[in-house]
Amino acid sequence: MLCVNVELKERRYPIHIGAGLLSDNSVYPLKSGDKVMIVTNPTVAQHYLSQVTDTLEKIGCTVKNVQLPDGEQYKTLDSLNLIFTALLRENYGRDATIVALGGGVIGDVAGYAAASYQRGVRFIQIPTTLLAQVDSSVGGKTAVNHELGKNMIGAFYQPCTVIIDTLTLNTLPKREVNAGLAEVIKYGAILDYPFFEWLEQHIDALVALDQEKLQQCIARCCQIKADVVARDETEKGDRALLNLGHTFGHAIETHLGYGNWLHGEAVAAGSMMAAVLSEMLGDLSAQEAARLEKLLVRANLPTVSPDTMQPEDYLPHMMRDKKVLAGKLRLILLKSLGQAYVATDTDQDKVLAAIRRCTQTD
């Protein structure tokens, strides 16, 4: 078992990473008599709910669960309210613990519920997708969507523990494993060149779900993210770098409607757009951009815009990004592989030109 600590002063918490941890009662910070509400969805519940419930009941906890409909389109205030209703029906108080068992959507909604229920209850994350394991389970960003924008409503709220059982990836659709690898590659590209090289060496093992390589990879990603978050919990500075490809990617997701492209797929294409723009600005070399593209392709990820989306469709969505300040676009771009920066006020014509270069032509 590997362990990464997220250092946030009084809210320091550990991330445990290993095979079979769901059944390991030593990693749960719970004791007999604790009241637990597991938030999950029917797909994940069918595989893992009884395993987690059994483990917690052996500890002596009272365990209830609430299942949200599966999918990004249900990451809403209505789903949030399902959790509140379940907690109130069980008379759960401020001493309750919410456990998020599932992917990023479950983690985001359950985390925001934990931040909000009676103004804050304990929260444990058990991410079951690669994307959630390397990204959304670290750093305390929680949110639901609004019909006018993604992740517009939420809180910064830290879990007390994150439990990552890499065996859960065996039941994850391959397409979702690959989508998770988009965020993995992102970490190498923005902050860690040696890790980028490691990925070039081991990407095939990761795609094939080699357990040892997966654990090393997840621990490295969590460590990178944990370091960034510890420096900048509420995203005033450095933390924005983690959003490489996300401003483009959110535009893709919003334009296609949630649930068509996976988040990681949109981030992959978006990262490529950021790389191409970086190259056009004279920062990234053509060879470096090509290495990023090759790595994304080996992980079976898209590197161009969806064929139903025009280059002109991007900017209106991008201007609604949370990083926009005083009406000016702020993008995460690359100086080189392993070195990202925040670009303010990038010329919109250049942005459009980069998107064009990443658009499928017949």
Closest distance between a second copy and the C-beta of residue 149, in Å? Answer: 6
Cβ closer to a second copy: 10 or 349?
A: 10
> What is the spatial distance between Cα 96 and Cα 237, in angstroms, rounded to a whole number?
33
Stretch that binds a second copy, among 92-100, 185-193, 246-254, 343-351 (CB under 8 A): 92-100
Nearest to 25 by CA among 47, 62, 57: 57
Active site residue 235: yes
If one asks whether residue 115 binds a second copy (CB under 8 A), the answer comes out as yes
Cβ closer to a second copy: 123 or 195?
A: 123
Cβ closer to a second copy: 47 or 330?
A: 330
Strands (E), 120-169: 122-127, 141-146, 149-156, 161-165
Q: Which of 2, 14, 43, 84 binds a second copy (CB under 8 A)?
A: 84
Residue 72 marked in a binding site: yes
Cβ closer to a second copy: 81 or 171?
A: 81
Cβ closer to a second copy: 1 or 325?
A: 325
If one asks whether residue 319 binds a second copy (CB under 8 A), the answer comes out as yes
Of 16, 186, 220, 250, which one is the catalytic site residue? 250
Residues 6 or more apart whose CB falls under 8 angstroms from that of 245 comprise: 182, 186, 266, 267, 268, 269, 270, 271, 272, 273, 274, 332
Q: Are 7 and 230 in contact (CB under 8 A)?
A: yes
> What is the spatial distance between Cα 331 and Cα 266, in angstroms, rounded to a whole number?
15
Cα separations in angstroms, 308 against 179, 264, 315, 347, 360: 20, 18, 16, 25, 10
Closest distance between a second copy and the C-beta of residue 329, in Å? Answer: 11
Residues 6 or more apart whose CB falls under 8 angstroms from that of 150 comprise: 250, 253, 254, 258
- x/- letters, 32..71, toward a second copy (CB under 8 A): -x--------------------------------------
Residues 148-177 that bind a second copy (CB under 8 A): 148-149, 152-156
Residue owning tokens 């201007």: 319
Active site residue 9: no
Q: What is the 3-state secondary structure of 332-344?
A: EEEEECCEEEEEE
Of 10, 31, 91, 119, which one is the catalytic site residue? 119
Query: What strand order describes the sheet that includes 62-67?
Result: 2-6, 13-18, 161-165, 122-127, 97-102, 35-40, 62-67
Of 35, 243, 253, 288, which one is the catalytic site residue? 243
Active site residue 243: yes
Cβ closer to a second copy: 233 or 279?
A: 233
Give me 321's structure tokens: 């990004």
Give me 19's structure tokens: 């095979």
Q: Are 80 and 157 in contact (CB under 8 A)?
A: no
85: enclosing H helix or E strand: helix 77-89
- x/- letters, 214..253, toward a second copy (CB under 8 A): --------------------xx------------------
Interaction site with a second copy (CB under 8 A): 33, 77, 80-81, 84-85, 88-89, 91, 93-95, 115-120, 141, 143, 146, 148-149, 152-156, 234-235, 319-320, 322-326
Residues annotated catalytic, as ranges: 119, 141, 183, 225, 235, 239, 243, 246, 250, 263
